[in-house]
Amino acid sequence: GAGVSQSPSNKVTEKGKDVELRCDPISGHTALYWYRQSLGQGLEFLIYFQGNSAPDKSGLPSDRFSAERTGGSVSTLTIQRTQQEDSAVYLCASSFREAGEAFFGQGTRLTVV
Amino acid sequence: QKEVEQNSGPLSVPEGAIASLNCTYSDRGSQSFFWYRQYSGKSPELIMSIYSNGDKEDGRFTAQLNKASQYVSLLIRDSQPSDSATYLCAVSTGNQFYFGTGTSLTVIP
């Protein structure tokens, strides 16, 4: 595709439910990043994938959060047993190379009620 | 801890003026430097990248990098109301991007 695609655009879920957020990076981009942005706040790093290397999970806030990247392309961020503090916009970005220009998707706005 | 600091603003400039946005970073090992524009309710949009010391110009935008001073800036010439947004400075050391909290810019017609 022409850009990074994220789905769904919006997700409302009940506290305690699991959610899956999807990111389809730009074709050929080997690096993929997940960030989240709470209302009025800065971008918080979650996880980084580079090619076939082990992901950098240092930003995941708890063991309720996990992510995978299948075939070096599409990535799924899973949040288990969602809490209200998980409400935020989850942003995915991809870049052609490590430390190269990164382009963001439109984000998934997650609301936990 | 790797930090990226920006003046939070808000910064207001009249239409047609030059807007100057500043950023400092703490990690001397940083390799790549970026400016993103973020409109309210939208995702960040890449507007400039710079990798070596000096100036880089792209249309009305000029990015400046001084690695010795650990300083990055963005100049917007002939500012337009459509430039009103939050500008994020981002620094990469390789495996992630570190973002500043952003500077809010308002261009007054």
- HSE, CB side, 13 Å, CA atoms: give it for residue A106: 8
**Is B32 part of the contact surface with chain A (CB cutoff 8 Å)?**
yes
Strands A88-95 and A102-104 come out as antiparallel
Average pLDDT over every residue of B76-90? 97
Chain B residues with CB under 8 Å of A109 CB are: none
Cβ contact A42–B102 (<8 Å): yes
Give the C-alpha separation, B11 to B105, whole Å: 5
Average pLDDT over every residue of B41-68? 96
The DSSP element (H or E) to which B6 belongs, if any, is: strand B4-6
Give the C-alpha separation, B90 to B72, whole Å: 10
- Å between A1 CA and nearest CA of chain B: 17
List pLDDT tens digits, range A35-66: 999 988 889 999 999 988 899 999 999 999 99
Give the C-alpha separation, A23 to A74, whole Å: 6
Cβ contact B43–A101 (<8 Å): no
**Is B58 part of the contact surface with chain A (CB cutoff 8 Å)?**
no
**Is B22 part of the contact surface with chain A (CB cutoff 8 Å)?**
no
Q: Sorting pLDDT into bands at 50, 70 and 90, what band is B1?
A: low
